[in-house]
Amino acid sequence: GLKCGIVGLPNVGKSTLFNALTSAKALAANYPFATKDPNLGVITVPDERLDKLAELVSPQRIMPTTVDIVDIAGLIKGASKGEGLGNQFLGNIRETDAILHVVRCFEDDNVVHVDGSVDPVRDKMIIDTELILKDIETVEKKIEKFRRTAKSGDKESKRIVEVGEALLAHLESEKPARTFEAEEDDQAMVRELMLLTGKPILYVCNVDIDSIDDGNAHTEAFRAAVADEAAEVILISAGIEADIAELETKEERAEFIEEMGLTEPGVNKVIRASYSLLDLVTYFTAGEKEVRAWTIRKGTKAPGAAGVIHTDFEKGFIRAEVIHYPDYVAFGSESAARDNGKLNVEGKEYVVEDGDVMHFRFNV
């Protein structure tokens, strides 16, 4: 599955957010390093379309789609040189498809700040610096590997060294790899380096309830500092999210959300933003046994989409019967959509659209 990693300094609210996102019971305590091991969790993606389809089909089961999430703790100043929990977390970051970077933008004297004061811009720099240092190591290694063949005239090696050196200069000026503009022909090479600061990123400002709508001085400073990154910045209160997640029933949660003056749980904002960050789309299967949402990358063709359900579906793919979501809802059922000419038979080259209701035909 696709995986998001949560990073940030200790005590900014990572595990509180992680718990709210996954409703798992990780340890959130008021001291650094409370979260020693990376916590793996699963986020279920809320989707009104799934609820609507379930209403129409009345299946035995309703299965939302999921994204994996890992809470990466232990990131502090000096981490790239083995401080704190050392290099352990870096491998965890490398394995992720996208990063949620949480910064503390709330004041609370009861919550210790590892660097003594609330300053999200400085905090982000600390994390970036550690990741950039690690990336510099990675790029230097790459350059070293190709230097000799480049010197003896190998064109491809020369190019790798050239691009590597430009990238190195970029990183050394304390800029993340994601703002490095590589020529089209060089992009694959840069991607292959799997740089930590090259991953898509979403910034999450953890604020007090009063600052959720309009932000505060900390979030303003933070927005200004990341303006050139073209990354999304969202504001949530992890503490409130944890409170929401603890409520047992849908009704209780709805009531509490309204009392707090919110329109929806902040975790929904995070999930939506992560989804678009990862360039994902959802398709559905709708049968009497189960109505289910599935996650694929945008641009996936029908056989690949089938493969998410089972590899046999992909191997033995014959065709897909597709009803676009608005048609399904307009006619109210598969058979009614078919009778009205809205069931399309598609082959191997069909690119699945967001919301498609799919039925795969395959050989076993």
| Binding span for ligand GDP by CB under 6 A among 27-35, 50-58, 169-177, 330-338 | 27-35
Q: Please tell me whether residue 239 binds ligand GDP under the rule CB under 6 A.
A: yes
Q: Please tell me whether residue 237 binds ligand GDP under the rule CB under 6 A.
A: yes
- Between CA 351 and CA 128 the distance in angstroms is 37
Among 55, 108, 172, 312, binds ligand GDP (CB under 6 A): 108
Q: 107 or 154, CB closer to ligand GDP?
A: 107
Could you tell me if 303 and 314 are in contact, meaning their C-beta atoms sit under 8 angstroms apart?
yes
Q: Please tell me whether residue 103 binds ligand GDP under the rule CB under 6 A.
A: no
> 12 labelled as ligand-binding?
yes
Q: Please tell me whether residue 238 binds ligand GDP under the rule CB under 6 A.
A: yes
Strands (E), 211-316: 232-236, 280-286, 290-297
> 15 labelled as ligand-binding?
yes
Q: Please tell me whether residue 15 binds ligand GDP under the rule CB under 6 A.
A: yes
- Residue 77: name the closest of 14, 111, 123, 120 by CA: 123
- Between CA 188 and CA 193 the distance in angstroms is 9
Q: Please tell me whether residue 266 binds ligand GDP under the rule CB under 6 A.
A: no
Could you tell me if 4 and 96 are in contact, meaning their C-beta atoms sit under 8 angstroms apart?
yes
Q: Please tell me whether residue 34 binds ligand GDP under the rule CB under 6 A.
A: yes
Least distance between ligand GDP and beta carbon 156 (Å): 43
Among 92, 98, 103, 106, binds ligand GDP (CB under 6 A): 106
Least distance between ligand GDP and beta carbon 113 (Å): 10
Annotate 196-231 with b (16+ C-beta within 10 A) or e (fewer).
bbbbbbbbbbbbeeebbeebbebbeebbebbeeeeb
> 16 labelled as ligand-binding?
yes
Among 2, 4, 7, 8, binds ligand GDP (CB under 6 A): 8
| Binding span for ligand GDP by CB under 6 A among 3-11, 92-100, 180-188, 322-330 | 3-11
Q: Please tell me whether residue 74 binds ligand GDP under the rule CB under 6 A.
A: no
Q: Please tell me whether residue 219 binds ligand GDP under the rule CB under 6 A.
A: no
- Amino acid identity of residue 53, one-letter, is L
Q: Please tell me whether residue 14 binds ligand GDP under the rule CB under 6 A.
A: yes
Return all residues near 320 (Cβ < 8 A) that are at least 6 apart: 302, 305, 306, 345, 346, 347, 350, 358, 359, 360, 361
**How many other C-beta atoms can be found within 10 angstroms of the C-beta atom of residue 23?**
16
> 206 labelled as ligand-binding?
no
Mode of pairing for the β-strands spanning 280-286 and 290-297: antiparallel
Residues that bind ligand GDP (CB under 6 A): 8, 10-16, 28-30, 34-35, 106, 108, 111, 206, 237-239
